[in-house]
Amino acid sequence: MLMFSLVTPEKKVITDMEVEELLVPAYKGQLNILPGHAPLMTTLSVGVLCYREKGSSTWESVAISWGYCEVSPKGVVVLAETAETKEEIDKDRAIEALKKAQKALMDPDLEPDQIKKFQRKIERAQARIDLAQ
């Protein structure tokens, strides 16, 4: 089995949970991590992290935004900038944030750093909406 921990700067979301499988939104695409996975360190993108606890057939999900994932013989540690469970997400607020960011991107006078900022807000809001549905 794999030991799994998920932490953010503000909270410990999951600590030393035995899981059978993880799906992690890595920077270059989704990673499927199973017991015996080769050690690695990767950056994360915005998305939905899914895991199956030991002995369960049910997938649990958490919306995360950016961070790092380390797979070692001891287990998997995810350090994310933010992590929210389905229960923590306000779907209406996420939809409003998505609309607001999309509208802001229509401004032709945006600087490149502002464009990137609003694109990240769109990604984060979309991940929240996807998890909330």
SS3 call for 42: strand
pTM reported for the whole predicted model: 0.83
What is the DSSP-derived secondary structure letter of residue 123?
H
Amino acid 67: pLDDT: 94
List CB contacts of 59: < 8 A, sequence separation 6 or more: 50, 51, 52
Enclosing H/E stretch for 45: none
SS3 call for 114: helix
List CB contacts of 31: < 8 A, sequence separation 6 or more: 22, 23, 24, 42, 69
Which tens digit of pLDDT belongs to each residue from 23-80? 999 988 999 999 999 999 999 999 999 999 999 999 999 999 889 999 999 999 999 9
Confidence of residue 107 (pLDDT cuts 50, 70, 90): confident
Mean pLDDT, the chain, integer: 91
